[in-house]
Structure 1
């Protein structure tokens, strides 16, 4: 066999992977307005340091969600680019197979006998795979108002019903996305096993997705814990005031982080496949497309040094005969 067989690459799987990641990105984006609406509800009648902390956490969640969606989209684009590159590689291999089928036909043999062959054809060229771009640095990390040294001083006030409304709405949105990280992880495994051309590693993006979801759940528990503290102070259905120190203590007892930190979302790692001309075993001069077939025609033994007579045949030129010695430079550039 002179031409390479087609790649082990399931184009349907690649299309599914790209679609799942792009759909997940859109799902995250579609929730942004709903999440902001629930934040607005929770912020009503909320005053003081913990109100500022609540706003900070919500802004951080929104920014991280936007970055996460961007990286999910880039994974989809990487899968599609690898599929495109694999398709072009298969096309080059098909061109090579068709070339050899013609070469073995009676017409091809006649062309070879009369040296009428042209350069060996090659298929379409492939553009290099562009790695996904990492998220640009946000500069100096923002500090939550609840991380200030004076955060435990003073008081905060709020209506527990508003905070619970935020918590319940946000929990519902979290549930809608809960199965996506696992689904995307399975899709990546399918791509690795069924699309064997190049490589795509987006484990870091999946980890960031899980971390984002965990932080969202923490925000829900945060709101419910603070709401319980306001209710205990007599604020059911109305505004109550609680010291910030007491609210910090309540969060600590519940095992809840007071502040949310910015996520570090790495870009997916993608490597393009090793492209070929489509010709597996016979050498091709990529400068001019000529097919080259070296042959040993004559060996003279019994001399001080073994002499050989080599013929190097190309598809578009008459045989070139070279006389030389093994282990030394050839005597001439070639005899015709």
Structure 2
């Protein structure tokens, strides 16, 4: 019997309808408060304030409409579920009668009862009803509170008393929405949990309520700050630069609140972080206004959307280039003489030294700028900027991780570092472009993930770096999943690619994720932990390849703890990295080295153009499977 709980559906309908009524019911009070505040409000900031109020009004009305539509869709789903349940029950009842008739016929082979009864008792339909798909996409628009227009240079005047009245009214209305937000989220969670027969598309309208309320609260802080500026001035008109401080202070005010500070207590799951962040109502501009000591906490916080990590990481990177000594300490690095006396390559527990830190920060910025030039019109996101086991780490995405339908995370291997993100970014661009060619209806984001302290050659036989790195990779993947879940738009596919020792790390990470990664591809593996089984991993399908021209990978298998080749694990799908021919007679080249993406024209790596390995990997990225091909 299909899983569809009528009570959970009825509860969701009631909550959505009530939320729509409350949202629409605030229109009059909010409009009057805004109109009164605007009556003696003149100048550039009067326009910004009016525009913000208009966006609030339009978004609130649109969200109410989405909830009304969603309630109707749930009612429709309930009717269809009842129809399907009735069909299933009728078929089950008929089967009981049919089984009895068969028993009777077996007891009396020459009897005519069976034929007569069977003719009168028609078999119900066996056509299974296609479950309905519920979708209700909604994006809360950011509200512009800072004047950056060069043409708007005039002064602004306002009545602080009326602005305070706007604050008071809006606070009361916002408080009235608090309970509605919780009711919507809880009702939807019950419905999705108890009605799994229904399919769910982009339902970002559910978490959008918290985001809308966050924007409303930011408006209250902003209006209060504006009123404060006019009160300090004793009336009159104020300049753009003076009033821009009121907008900048919104982020500071939010960051001082308990909800923001709770993000860093360390006891929140990625899902809880995602939900809490969404409710804050901060946008990218507000994130950039935060002080360095808060930015550094956001750069790799698991559960934050990619846009927020990107804004925080870029801003902190600029700070690191301007104030490297302070940034170095804020990131938790310690240039202790005894610890670093022999250098990080000899003393493997030592932190990266300050000189190298400066060089690597510049290298990240250079790689970021180059990737933006190489991918015009494509979002490039800097994510996961942080400190792992004493080294600077980061990830860079070609494509928008918050919206793309197909996500890919490429995990780096031995001796990888942020000193050279160019090579991995170049490979990410190729993967992005080639996957797009294979599935034009999909959108892609490919991460060059150098997010852990990779092993030196001497460390490759050990599981040490994989154990530590897998914690960080699992945290990153869990955060990515949680943020997309909170946005109401999970990707159609998430694939993890892992090169060399990156495969050792990735396999361990997928034992720790709290969701199923759709595809895992290891290439040129340096071996994975002994006794690993596919069932140990939270993965939909596991692929592996290793080229005969790769003489280095098997050196990593010489180990007492990680001598297992992924392709030897039962259930892993092995594919070739040798010369191959596609069904259209196109020829693909063999991989001739261990490297992922060699610069040399004479060697072909696993992700080099026109190789059979790169073709197979992009097919998996695009369509979840490898295109048909034969040996070349």
TM superposition score category, shorter chain reference: 0.5 to 0.7
Q: Measure the CA separation in 2 of the matches of 1:171 and 1:149.
A: 33
Counterpart in the other structure of 1:245: 241
Cα deviation, 1:81-103, whole Å, max 9, x if unaligned, reads 22222211111122223324444
CA contact (8 A) 1:96 1:122 kept: yes
The answer to whether residue 38 in structure 2 is matched with residue 43 in structure 1 is yes
Counterpart in the other structure of 2:195: 195
Distance 1:121 1:250, change over 3 A: closer
Counterpart in the other structure of 2:205: 205
- Unaligned regions of 5+ residues in structure 1, if any? 1-5, 270-336
Shift of residue 198 of structure 1? Answer: 2.2
Shift of residue 233 of structure 1? Answer: 1.6
**3-state SS of 1:16 partner:** helix
Q: Measure the CA separation in 2 of the matches of 1:250 and 1:116.
A: 83
Q: Measure the CA separation in 1 of the matches of 2:216 and 2:143.
A: 18
Counterpart in the other structure of 1:90: 85
Shift of residue 202 of structure 1? Answer: 6.3
Counterpart in the other structure of 1:154: 154
In the TM superposition, structure 1's runs of 4+ consecutive aligned residues that sit over 4 Å from their partners are 108-112, 123-128, 133-136, 141-145, 256-260, 264-269
Please report the RMSD computed on the Cα atoms of aligned residues, expressed in angstroms: 3.7
Distance 1:222 1:148, change over 3 A: same
Shift of residue 125 of structure 1? Answer: 8.6
Q: Measure the CA separation in 2 of the matches of 1:102 and 1:174.
A: 60
Counterpart in the other structure of 1:10: 5
- Structure ID, larger Rg: 1
Q: Measure the CA separation in 2 of the matches of 1:246 and 1:155.
A: 10
Shift of residue 112 of structure 1? Answer: 5.0
**3-state SS of 1:196 partner:** coil
Q: Measure the CA separation in 2 of the matches of 1:248 and 1:191.
A: 44
Q: Measure the CA separation in 2 of the matches of 1:195 and 1:131.
A: 12
Q: Measure the CA separation in 1 of the matches of 2:250 and 2:128.
A: 60
Normalised to the residue count of structure 1, the TM-score between the two structures is: 0.64
CA contact (8 A) 2:134 2:199 kept: no
Cα deviation, 1:29-73, whole Å, max 9, x if unaligned, reads 111222111101111211111111110111111111122112222
CA contact (8 A) 2:17 2:68 kept: yes
The answer to whether residue 14 in structure 2 is matched with residue 19 in structure 1 is yes
Identify which range, 209-218 or 88-97, moves more after superposition.
88-97
Counterpart in the other structure of 2:227: 227
Distance 1:175 1:227, change over 3 A: same
- Unaligned regions of 5+ residues in structure 2, if any? 106-110, 253-281, 287-402, 404-485, 491-632
Counterpart in the other structure of 2:170: 170
Q: Measure the CA separation in 2 of the matches of 1:245 and 1:58.
A: 22
Shift of residue 75 of structure 1? Answer: 2.6
CA contact (8 A) 2:133 2:200 kept: no
Shift of residue 150 of structure 1? Answer: 3.3
Shift of residue 189 of structure 1? Answer: 2.1
